[in-house]
Structure 1
């Protein structure tokens, strides 16, 4: 046996033992230090785990997902942005933001405010704007890119009361209910197929007499308008079959005095009145003042109008002696809610303050009058019959000119107005006729801050 072999093996063994002992000592010292310092046993593993957890919890955003417009942070950002963007505006109240269009990139918000240029009355006006919102794809932080123009955020607009063309028909009266009533009916007359101002004058007269006599007015809620109100303004025949509710707020009309629809009344009269159980009085002299029969006890009073114009117009009843006792009923006429909705929509598409110009049969010197009558840089709405659209388009180069035909989408065949009117008219389309145009045109003109008349 080679003696050196055992010595070499022992040396290796001793060396390993020494190293092992040293290693154990180092571990013991490290453990002791960690225990004394209360440090985690595996620092590197813990650090790696923490970094991984942070990466997994890091938020991320999908820019195509709908915005949470109800988020309080976004609400406050929009308020601050509005205050910073309009330093001359004194805000009094902000409404809660709602999703805009597209909902993934915008929110609409309404507010009430007063500007420095407003009157000293401190009255506030309402506006609603669209805010274009951006989101950081890594941090989800919001930022406002821009704020839209006046009334650019319609989704934040307070819902209106549903527009109605006429109140629901009242329930049928019983014999006792009908017999307890007192009625006034107008028979005949030359008021059909006349211009609307003529018809409304006669209607107000009939309402005034019915109120004075404390009677329910028997009224035909259909009418015939003059041919000049057809779509082209050149129709050869008057237009029958129009309903009063196309033009007038009939619900408000009912609130000014009791009215019963003519067809309903005569159906009830045929059941009960013609049997002699209820009294009726015929008044053929339309010059007879209502004071002469104000104490009549008859259930029905009928004014019969002749065939000779102009003496057979209803409004003649309110002249002479009667004129001194009738109360004015001008406020009884309000335009139909559906028409006024078109007016509001046109105004909402313009600046908060705009000027308006009304022209006569032609637009001579229109450009000069606009320069003289309105402030520079302001939008101008031009109203009136026979507007020369070619001239107005030319004026757009110099002025912010607008006119009714620009907004024909508001009464087109796919508009809310058209669909609502068709539904309420039993499925039959309703034409946006000349008088409707006249009403809308005039009402938009009246909403101008500065109004200028340009006559021939």
Structure 2
């Protein structure tokens, strides 16, 4: 075959084949594109399995929770911020919801409770809705302070109030009375150096027949001793232990009572300087027993304070004899001394622990109440009480002549009548008063004795708006 001779029909045949091949390639490309298959077999696939949208983008709420968990900084052991306005408003709303029958007049700012990491104390003034609507004139409000148990969300630190305590359960929010304290005994004084002890001047009463006497007798003698110490500008050496008379006990005098069970010791010290007897004699044995400090002994109680008011001795001892009634302390203030010594009655304030019971009784009735004091017993007393009772008002009946039978007869007719035994839960063994007194008495329980009953009963009576004495 002549290579220079052209092949017959070759040109048209090649052109047709080329078009066919191009068409096949185009169709194959389109199919591969539509099926998303790799164009090159030796290239690895981008993904072996399809991926869903949710696996690629997490749910927004789950993402927020993960971020909160990762950035959480709520320290549940740290003290609550009781000053936080959000918590303040939450506590107010919870109090209003919890006590629908109470009209709240004012809330105090919350303060840390106990433990401070989970509670806040808040005080308020309020009146019952019934008393508020009884007349157009505003009625007296009562004070209360409660402990709010507060929980915090471990992730968001959001507040929630889980419970509200009982009446007067939030003492940290209580505005203390001037000079008031919950302590039953004077705090132990710091050790004195010889120069500090010698710089003082002291008055001591030794002996006397004032022990185991009724409380008014003891108070009269105590006030006389305080008056003389103040007149002489001396610190009174005082035995803070008492012997309670048999009239307040089960028939036998009771030693070992502490003055602080009945009297506010801290206030007493603020008015007239006193030092506990045991502490003083321990210091005296160390610094003055060898004659290093001056001592004057006065055995005649008739010697008036003016006779030795300028004495320079460190210690003056008044010694009382064994013969009653001439050996009572209060005789020092009789006669000529009566014009010199003024008993400092303002120095005696009753123990805050007892006054808390008084406040609780009054708050449970209403501050605006009437009171009746009964002396004696008998049917004629019942009639006289009925004459003095206003059936529309709260009435407290006090006095030794009150017995359960008499009160139950009266309560059947007047459901607004109250008496002391009705509130015995305030000094029961599980009460705050009992537990606090036991703690302050070094773990030894303290009985709510006859004089405490008499004191509380009298103080509630004296707080009545209208006071009626009923005598047989």
Calculate the TM-score normalised by the size of structure 1: 0.69
Q: 2:338 aligns with which of 315, 319, 323?
A: 323
> Unmatched 5+ residue regions in structure 2?
1-84, 112-121, 147-164
Question: How far apart, CA to CA, are the structure 2 residues paired with 1:223 and 1:71?
Answer: 46
Q: 2:425 aligns with which of 409, 414, 431?
A: 409
Q: 1:369 aligns with which of 384, 388, 411?
A: 384
The answer to whether the 8 Å contact 1:79/1:94 transfers is no
1:279 aligns with 2:294: yes
Question: How far apart, CA to CA, are the structure 2 residues paired with 1:446 and 1:118?
Answer: 25
Deviates more, 1:327-336 or 1:207-216: 327-336
Question: How far apart, CA to CA, are the structure 2 residues paired with 1:357 and 1:213?
Answer: 43
Map of 1:435 onto structure 2? 451
Map of 1:30 onto structure 2? none
Question: How far apart, CA to CA, are the structure 2 residues paired with 1:72 and 1:181?
Answer: 54
Change (3 A) 1:164 1:80: closer
Change (3 A) 1:444 1:71: closer
Q: In structure 2, the residue corresponding to 1:349 is in which secondary structure?
A: helix
Change (3 A) 1:425 1:78: closer
Q: How much has 1:444 moved relative to structure 2? A: 0.9
Q: How much has 1:374 moved relative to structure 2? A: 2.9
The answer to whether the 8 Å contact 1:381/1:445 transfers is yes
Describe the superposition over 1:206-243 as per-residue Cα deviations: whole angstroms up to 9, x where unpaired.
0000000011101100011211111x4xx1x2111111
The answer to whether the 8 Å contact 1:342/1:410 transfers is yes
Q: 2:247 aligns with which of 223, 228, 234?
A: 228
1:204 aligns with 2:223: yes
The answer to whether the 8 Å contact 1:374/1:450 transfers is no
Map of 1:426 onto structure 2? 442
Question: How far apart, CA to CA, are the structure 2 residues paired with 1:74 and 1:271?
Answer: 57
Question: How far apart, CA to CA, are the structure 2 residues paired with 1:118 and 1:218?
Answer: 55
Q: 2:196 aligns with which of 152, 177, 195?
A: 177
Q: Which has the larger radius of gyration?
A: 2
The answer to whether the 8 Å contact 1:112/1:127 transfers is yes
The correspondence of residues 148-297 of structure 1 with structure 2, limited to 5 A, is 158-159=173-174, 161=176, 163-230=182-249, 232=250, 235=251, 237-297=252-312
Q: In structure 2, the residue corresponding to 1:452 is in which secondary structure?
A: strand
Q: In structure 1, the residue corresponding to 2:469 is in which secondary structure?
A: strand
Change (3 A) 1:412 1:276: same
Describe the superposition over 1:313-355 as per-residue Cα deviations: whole angstroms up to 9, x where unpaired.
0000001111111233111111111111111111111133221
Q: In structure 2, the residue corresponding to 1:184 is in which secondary structure?
A: strand
> Unmatched 5+ residue regions in structure 1?
1-67, 99-107, 131-150
Map of 2:467 onto structure 1? 451
Question: How far apart, CA to CA, are the structure 1 residues paired with 2:169 and 2:276?
Answer: 39
Q: How much has 1:123 moved relative to structure 2? A: 9.9
Q: In structure 2, the residue corresponding to 1:372 is in which secondary structure?
A: helix
Q: 1:110 aligns with which of 96, 121, 124?
A: 124
Change (3 A) 1:397 1:308: same
Map of 2:57 onto structure 1? none
Map of 2:320 onto structure 1? 305
The correspondence of residues 378-417 of structure 1 with structure 2, limited to 5 A, is 378-399=393-414, 400-417=416-433
The answer to whether the 8 Å contact 1:128/1:152 transfers is no
The answer to whether the 8 Å contact 1:222/1:242 transfers is yes
Calculate the TM-score normalised by the size of structure 2: 0.67
Question: How far apart, CA to CA, are the structure 1 residues paired with 2:233 and 2:145?
Answer: 50
Q: How much has 1:85 moved relative to structure 2? A: 8.4
Q: How much has 1:361 moved relative to structure 2? A: 2.5
Question: How far apart, CA to CA, are the structure 1 residues paired with 2:303 and 2:136?
Answer: 51
Q: How much has 1:401 moved relative to structure 2? A: 1.8
Change (3 A) 1:95 1:423: closer
Change (3 A) 1:119 1:129: farther
Q: In structure 2, the residue corresponding to 1:397 is in which secondary structure?
A: helix
Question: How far apart, CA to CA, are the structure 2 residues paired with 1:420 and 1:351?
Answer: 26
Q: In structure 2, the residue corresponding to 1:343 is in which secondary structure?
A: helix
Describe the superposition over 1:37-77 as per-residue Cα deviations: whole angstroms up to 9, x where unpaired.
xxxxxxxxxxxxxxxxxxxxxxxxxxxxxxx9958699689
The answer to whether the 8 Å contact 2:438/2:444 transfers is yes
Aligned positions, number: 353
Describe the superposition over 1:257-309 as per-residue Cα deviations: whole angstroms up to 9, x where unpaired.
11111111111111111111101011011000000010111111010111111
Change (3 A) 1:398 1:282: same
